[in-house]
């Protein structure tokens, strides 16, 4: 077993819960032969290690010979997967359906066709209830096999029935594939550039979307087709900064789960994503009270005994919970409370961040930096911004990289680090040129910071802050320049400098007005 495979075995064992480890030992020791005992000993030795160390394992158990170690690890990996599958066979519906299909195949091979039919009926009922189209096709395949081996007066009717079902399921799968393929394409583009930057971006994305969409009647779509359709629309609307329509489709997405709650356990990952997307739209549109209600629903998932939470779902829930907790403080303009939360979770944050994908990591870094900036803790803000700037991932979310550099410049200005401002300005300017992302907004900011220094009189400083504010305000309604306000509320920062007040105070006042107006509606 190669080094990377040994690491895979180590991580698989470490991912097991206590109950799964206990089940594995029962599962492995059933036969009670010497080889099984060896598997359990190897399992225990690896489980006790903080890092995989083959030499230590061989020195602690001399019955495990070096020449057999590779095969032993490979078989142990396979045994663990088998035990996990059995352990989850009654709680993960897809596994339960596949198991029934396996039973049907075994019965078919033994010519026990009547028993095979009964098992297939159970499998079909479960697959239909969970709207698992791919497994339904597999079930229909075995039903056709059974018909070919049996003769009855209603054979023709059964054949036609299966053929019609297959056509219907294939049509639905085709729509789902088109929706999901288009969604993946848009996501890959979004992960590179972020929100659209100009008309060329808009034309490219809308053309891709419109040309890729099939003809469909929404009322006649199945639940799974609609779930995929709404997911696609939300991603598209967010990409082009149409948050109103993004909110509309995200709400339809979540409401579909509310309408068919029996689907949630088998599609829990998708349900969580739909809630997350709806909360993003509510955050962007400052629908605070709706946002808070959905945040409660998101957090409640972790303690719902009816739903099986795997490691992937737990990590997602934790990630979304943190991000939306921060978003809540952004909406309220309460950065000091956000920093208190940050300081509370800091001890376990490093281990949590290691588990995140690169995109989620960059977003989290930026939100944390904005929290500290809003609380006027500029050194801490720079520390987190540097994690983005020096990440080596400049081709991932280029927009966040660009705005991280702007926030970094402003943080250095706030700290009076004029000695490194020139260097930062030049490197930021070159980065924008390289990424083809030097727009009016960036030009105004860079020009402003370039001519800003601590030797100016207080009146001159305020005049320059006011001048920049006047130049930026018209961009709030610009189709493409407005994206800057998604990343950083520079208008409020300028107003705080003009009014000589904490930026947190300025943002909080504006937030109170919007939230109270939202409540009145």
Q: Residue 224 in contact with residue 133, Cβ under 8 Å?
A: yes
* Distance of alpha carbon 321 from alpha carbon 318, whole angstroms: 5
Tracing tokens 């997405």 back to the chain, one arrives at: 253
CA distance 417 to 125: 68
- Three-state secondary structure string covering 338-402: HHHHHHHHHHHHHHHHHCCCHHHHHHHHHHHHHHHHHCCCHHHHHHHHHHHHCCCCCCCCHHHHH
CA–CA separation, 223 and 219 (whole Å): 10
DSSP calls for 98-150: HHHHHHHHHHHHTT-HHHHHHHHHHHHHHHHHTT-HHHHHHHHHHHHHHHHH-
Within a 13 Å sphere around the CA of 280, how many CA atoms are in the beta-carbon half?
22
Confirm if 252 and 281 have CB atoms less than 8 A apart. Answer: no
Q: Give the contacts of 285 (CB within 8 A, at least 6 positions apart).
A: 243, 244, 247
Tens-digit pLDDT profile for residues 27-59: 887 755 556 677 788 889 999 998 888 888 888
Taking the CA atoms of 354, 360, 365 and 369 in sequence, report the sign of the dihedral they define.
negative
pLDDT at position 435, please? Answer: 73
Pairwise CA distance, residues 361 & 365, whole Å = 6
Give per-10-residue mean pLDDT for the chain (521 aa). Answer: 74 88 84 67 89 87 83 89 83 86 95 94 93 93 89 79 93 95 95 88 95 94 95 97 96 96 89 97 94 94 84 90 93 93 88 90 93 95 94 82 90 88 84 76 83 76 90 84 80 92 93 78 55
d(CA 302, CA 368): 24
Write down the residue that tokens 């400052």 correspond to.
Answer: 286
Residue 504 confidence (pLDDT)? 93
Q: For residues 441 and 486, what is the distance between their CA atoms, to the nearest angstrom?
A: 13
d(CA 71, CA 36): 13
Interacting residues of 66 by C-beta distance below 8 A, sequence separation 6+:
58
**Spatial separation of the C-alpha atoms in residues 289 and 287, rounded to whole Å:** 6
Q: Per-domain residue ranges for the chain? A: 3-87, 93-182
Q: At what angle do helices 268-284 and 223-239 cross, to 10 degrees?
A: 30
Which of 195, 510, 194, 472 lies closest to 331 in space, CA to CA? 510
Give the model confidence (pLDDT) of 413-440 as tens digits: 899 888 888 888 888 888 877 777 677 8
Comparing CA positions, the residue from 417, 325, 425, 413 lying closest to residue 373 is: 413
* Separation of alpha carbons 333 and 240, rounded Å: 26
Please report the pLDDT score of residue 97 as a whole number.
92
Determine the straight-line distance between the first and last CA of the chain, rounded to whole angstroms: 63
Q: Look at residue 519 in the predicted model and tell me its pLDDT.
A: 62
Buried b (16+ CB within 10 A) or exposed e, 121-141: eebbebbeebbbbebbebbbe
Distance CA 416, CA 221 (A): 60
* 3-state secondary structure (DSSP) of residue 459: helix
CA distance 26 to 392: 46
């Amino acid at each position: 077993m190669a080094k990377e495979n040994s690491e895979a075995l180590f991580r698989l064992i470490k991912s097991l819960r206590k109950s799964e480890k206990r089940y594995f030992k029962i599962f492995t020791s059933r036969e009670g032969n010497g080889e099984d005992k060896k598997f359990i000993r190897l399992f225990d030795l690896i489980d006790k290690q903080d890092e995989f160390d083959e030499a230590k394992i061989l020195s602690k158990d001399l019955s495990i010979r070096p020449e057999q170690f590779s095969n032993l690890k490979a078989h142990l990996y396979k045994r663990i997967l088998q035990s996990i599958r059995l352990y989850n066979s009654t709680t993960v519906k897809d596994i339960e359906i596949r198991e029934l299909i396996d039973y049907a195949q075994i019965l078919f091979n033994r010519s026990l066709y009547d028993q095979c039919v009964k098992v297939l009926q159970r499998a079909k009922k479960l697959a239909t209830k969970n709207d698992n189209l791919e497994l339904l096709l597999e079930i229909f395949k075995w039903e056709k096999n059974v018909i070919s081996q049996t003769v009855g007066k209603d054979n023709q009717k059964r054949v036609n029935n299966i053929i019609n079902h297959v056509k219907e399921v294939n049509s639905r799968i085709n729509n789902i594939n088109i929706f999901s393929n288009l969604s993946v394409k848009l996501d890959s583009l979004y992960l590179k550039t972020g929100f659209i930057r100009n008309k060329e971006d808009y034309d490219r994305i809308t053309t891709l979307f419109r040309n890729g969409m099939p003809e469909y009647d929404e009322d006649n779509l199945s639940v799974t087709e609609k779930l995929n359709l709404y997911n696609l629309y939300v991603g598209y609307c967010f990409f082009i900064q149409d948050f109103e329509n993004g909110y509309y489709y995200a709400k339809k997405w979540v409401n579909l789960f509310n309408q068919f709650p029996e689907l949630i356990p088998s599609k829990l990952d998708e349900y969580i994503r739909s809630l997350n997307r709806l909360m993003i739209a509510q955050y962007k549109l400052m629908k605070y009270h709706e946002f808070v209600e959905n945040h409660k629903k998101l957090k409640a998932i972790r303690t719902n005994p009816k739903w099986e939470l795997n490691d992937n779902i737990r990590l997602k829930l934790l990630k979304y919970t943190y991000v939306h907790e921060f978003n809540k403080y952004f909406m309220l303009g309460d950065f000091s409370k956000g920093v208190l939360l940050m300081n509370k979770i800091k001890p376990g944050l490093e281990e949590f961040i290691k588990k995140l994908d690169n995109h989620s990591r960059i977003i989290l870094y930026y939100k944390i930096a904005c929290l500290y900036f809003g609380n006027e803790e500029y050194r801490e803000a720079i520390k987190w911004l540097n994690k983005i700037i020096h990440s080596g991932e400049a081709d991932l979310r280029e927009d966040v990289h660009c705005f991280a550099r702007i926030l970094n410049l402003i943080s250095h200005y706030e700290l009076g680090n004029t000695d490194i401002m020139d260097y930062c300005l030049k490197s930021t300017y070159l980065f924008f040129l390289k990424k083809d992302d030097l727009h009016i907004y960036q030009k105004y900011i860079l020009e402003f910071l370039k001519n800003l220094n601590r030797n100016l009189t207080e009146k001159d400083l305020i005049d320059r802050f006011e001048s920049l504010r006047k130049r930026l305000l018209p961009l709030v309604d610009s189709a493409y320049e407005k994206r800057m306000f998604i990343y950083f509320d520079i208008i409020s920062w300028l107003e705080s400098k003009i009014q000589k007040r904490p930026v947190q105070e300025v943002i909080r006042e504006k937030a109170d007005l919007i939230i109270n107006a939202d409540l009145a509606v």
